Amino acid sequence: MSVSFLREFLRDPLTVAAVAPSGARLADLVTAPVPRDGDPLVVELGPGTGAFTAAVQSRLAGRGRHLAIEINERFAGPLAARFPRVDVAVADARRLPDLLAHGGHRQADVIVSGLPWAAFGASTQDDLLAAVTGALAPDGAFTTFAYTFSRWAPPALRLRQSLSARFEEVVTSRTVWANMPPAFVYFCRRPRIPARLHDLVAA
């Protein structure tokens, strides 16, 4: 187990919300939509100690761009040192559309989330999902994971409903039993056009 991960959990349990980093099998599944060719822009939310970062970098194999947004600077510093090809921003993931605009980036092709959705209240979940759909290309993919043991808890059910409200396609993976704790992945595609933008398009 990563000592720094456990230490950060003890320091701020509601933001880290896990006692250990995700395992390689979950990382492989979460990052599956990263294209094997071209120069995609991949955004990662809540990278922590880099379980998904390593998998994204391996799939990119030197291509494209990889922006990682981590709110905890004690995670972000070592992450930036370990992955020099990754742009690590110390920021709240709610600022994602701003960060893309100010960095001169286009919309993301893939957004991969390690955020602890079950630890967030309804308005934080909403703000974060609005940031995701506002930053994702229309043909892009968004993936995030949840722990199987909390699948039926109210925040997890709320996340499932919100994903369906914000994406036309939401596919749930099998459970990754090898992960500790076991987890599953949501694969989301075709972000729904926000109502205001829809009005402008229809006008």
Q: 175-192 burial, b if ≥16 CB within 10 A, otherwise e? A: ebeebbeebbbbbbbebe
Q: Interface mask (CB under 6 A) for ligand SAM, residues 42-71, using x and -?
A: ---xxxx--xx----------------xxx
Cis-peptide into 181, omega within 30 deg: yes
d(CA 79, CA 76): 5
Element (H, E) at 136: strand 136-147
How many residues lie near ligand SAM (CB under 6 A)?
22
Concatenated DSSP letters of 3-64: HHHHHHHHH-HHHH--SSPPPHHHHHHHTTTS-SSS--EEEEE--TTTHHHHHHHHHHTT-S
* Closer residue to ligand SAM, CB minimum distance, 85 or 198: 85
Chain mean position to CA 135: 12
Decide: is 155 part of the binding site for ligand SAM (CB under 6 A).
no
Minimum gap (Å) between residue 11 Cβ and ligand SAM: 10
Q: How far apart are the first and last CA of the chain?
A: 55
Q: Interface mask (CB under 6 A) for ligand SAM, residues 7-46, using x and -?
A: --------xxxx--xx----------------------xx
Decide: is 92 part of the binding site for ligand SAM (CB under 6 A).
yes
* Closer residue to ligand SAM, CB minimum distance, 41 or 183: 183
Considering only 33, 116, 155, 191, the residue that binds ligand SAM (CB under 6 A) is 116
Minimum gap (Å) between residue 69 Cβ and ligand SAM: 5
Binding stretches for ligand SAM (CB under 6 A): 15-18, 21-22, 45-48, 51-52, 69-72, 75, 92-93, 114-116
